[in-house]
């Protein structure tokens, strides 16, 4: 299992949601974050030159998936999130040790996969 963290532009979040739905990825968390992607946005001079880091609004998806869903999840984030301009975002894939569904106590792969009813 992996935790796929995808940081995307706010105006691409809906496209990512649609792409995740098409990939049958159903469980995720979404939050608004501020981030910095390495660019030197703003330079202010005060007794010499110093660089100030600018922050931009991004959306952060956290998606816990079984191994077979890792690549489809990455593809959905890329397909939905890409404009081709700098600042499209990043994806981090983190090992996931344990998942528990609170309602049933089910764990791991049984807990990341939603019930099909």
Q: Provide the binding-site residues for ligand ATP, judged by CB under 6 A.
A: 7, 33, 35-38, 56, 58, 86-90
- Taking CA atoms, 87 is separated from 25, 84, 111, 112, in Å, by 25, 9, 33, 30
For residue 108, give the 3-state DSSP assignment: coil
Alpha-carbon gap, residue 44 to 58, rounded angstroms: 24
38 contacts Mg ion (rule: CB under 5 A): yes
- What's the closest the beta carbon of residue 7 comes to Mg ion, in angstroms? 11
105 contacts Mg ion (rule: CB under 5 A): no
- What's the closest the beta carbon of residue 87 comes to ligand ATP, in angstroms? 4
Q: Which residues make up the interface to Mg ion (CB under 5 A)?
A: 37-39, 86
């Amino acid at each position: 299992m992996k935790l796929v963290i995808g940081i995307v532009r706010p105006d691409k979040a809906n496209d990512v949601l649609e792409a995740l739905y098409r990939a049958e990825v159903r469980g995720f968390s979404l939050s608004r974050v501020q981030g910095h992607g390495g660019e030197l946005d703003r330079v202010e001079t005060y007794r010499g030159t110093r660089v100030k880091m600018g922050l931009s609004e991004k959306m952060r998806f956290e998606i816990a998936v079984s191994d077979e869903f890792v690549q489809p999840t990455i593809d959905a984030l890329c397909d939905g999130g890409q404009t081709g301009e700098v600042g499209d975002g990043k994806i981090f894939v983190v090992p996931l040790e344990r998942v528990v569904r609170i309602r049933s106590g089910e764990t791991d792969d049984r807990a990341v996969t939603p019930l099909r009813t």
